[in-house]
Amino acid sequence: MENTRCFANRFSDYRGALLPGQGAEAVIPAVVSKIERILKKVPIDINDCDGGLYDGPAGVAYMLYHVSECPLFSEQREVYLKTAKQIIDVSVRYADAEPDKNMRAAFLLGGAGIYAVAAMIYKSLGLADFVKPLSKFRSLWEVCAPINFLECGSDELFVGRAGYLCAALVLKQKLGIEILSKDQIKYICQAIIESGKQYARRKRKPFPLMYSYYGTEYLGAAHGLSSVLQMLLSYQDMLSGAERDLVWQSVDFLMSQEQNCNWPAELGAIIERENELVHWCHGAPGTTTVNDAVSHYLLHIVVTLMVPSRPAGVAYLFAKAYLINKKPQYLDTCIRSGELVWQKGLLKKGPGICHGVAGSAYVFLLLYRLTGNSKYLYRAQRFAEFIFTEEFKAGSLSVTSIYSLFEGLSGTVCFLVDLLQPDQSEFPLFSVFV
């Protein structure tokens, strides 16, 4: 029976040689033309700014920034950065006017991510103004510090505290400055840990930390345990010995939830092989919305409904764990995830990074950076090649916002550029190597 969720991977595996024809001469024009396509579609009106970095115009600004940082695009750098500034300026005004302060503190769906990206773009342009969005970002600390600041769940990546920490991490990486004080970071980490302890205790979990988002106990990167733990590991120097133990116990607990190289979307769910998919994100129905930005996001949830699995996201947690303590079982877990992504990662849900082919391929770039094994670079090249085939174009679901960073072409562009500089490649806005 034909798999409705992914294309069959008919590519032969690595035999010692990378693909010819995927060098800068071929890829740069392809990237430039994709960017032209994106810029024709991206709205520049303040009334069309919701979706944040996830699928709003701000994500396009980030993509332009990312491309302009690559030395191979030095010719386009100035134009891309200026365009990025125009786009992000509108998004900043939108975030400033956001009446819900909780949404302003959201990373992928709200203001925190927009301010962070604005600071990066201004800094690249040499503007002293970059401190303005930074101080706006910093002031959001107070919003997300209270343990239950969001009713739907205060700790995940898109709108919760893990996202706020993730943005701080990206800023540290890109600007070379720790934007929050040690005490502020400690406080946020402790709130995440306390919140997870309380939830696990209340629900009588047999492990120390657990979280829910709209009532669902997600495990994957988008709203689940794995990205929360990843951020705590990223700041583990700020934790006490006892807190660190809780985090590592939870990492090992999550590792124990593997089912044949994969993880259920939700704690306790059983993966059926025929339904298996390998997204970065999560997919399960949400119940209510915080506001428009989230209801926009519900489109994404509809697209990914009934998707039970996401090694492509969980791999980043185990990569982080491996980078910290070098225990081979963490790397082995990443490698096993990568094998499943190679088999089932040619997804039919578009070219994007959230639940599309580029998101799958980023796992290979991650594995390349972890192991130095060219096999993974080859596999990423094959997935890149597939995005340009007729089979993909004809058989893939159309994407609602074609310009978006997570579902649309902006994420694809980031991936194609990273394939040209694999030693620095990283899933957008989700740093493991800081």
Q: Which residues bind Zn ion (CB under 5 A)?
A: 281, 304, 354-355
What minimum distance in Å lies between the beta carbon of 112 and Zn ion?
A: 20
Residue nearest to Zn ion (CB): 281
What minimum distance in Å lies between the beta carbon of 354 and Zn ion?
A: 3
**How many angstroms separate the CA atoms of 314 and 306, rounded?**
18
Q: Is the CB of 80 or the CB of 406 nearer to Zn ion? A: 406
Q: Is the CB of 105 or the CB of 108 nearer to Zn ion? A: 108
Q: Is the CB of 108 or the CB of 354 nearer to Zn ion? A: 354
Hey, is 433 helix, strand or coil?
coil
355 a known binding residue?
yes
Task: Report yes or no: 153 and 214 within 8 Å, Cβ to Cβ.
Answer: yes
Give the ranges where 257-388 is alpha helix by DSSP (H): 292-303, 311-325, 328-344, 357-371, 374-387
**How many angstroms separate the CA atoms of 221 and 142, rounded?**
25
Q: Is the CB of 304 or the CB of 381 nearer to Zn ion? A: 304
What minimum distance in Å lies between the beta carbon of 361 and Zn ion?
A: 15
281 a known binding residue?
yes
What minimum distance in Å lies between the beta carbon of 415 and Zn ion?
A: 15
Mapping DSSP onto H, E and C, the string for 219-243 reads CCCCCCHHHHHHHHHHCHHHCCHHH
Q: Is the CB of 354 or the CB of 432 nearer to Zn ion? A: 354
Hey, is 373 helix, strand or coil?
coil
152 a known binding residue?
no
Tokens of 122: 């201004």
What minimum distance in Å lies between the beta carbon of 203 and Zn ion?
A: 26
> For the packed helices 74-97 and 24-41, what is the interaxial angle rounded to 10 degrees?
30
**How many angstroms separate the CA atoms of 222 and 2, rounded?**
28
**How many angstroms separate the CA atoms of 9 and 382, rounded?**
10
Annotated binding site for Zn(2+): 281, 354-355
Annotated binding site: 281, 354-355
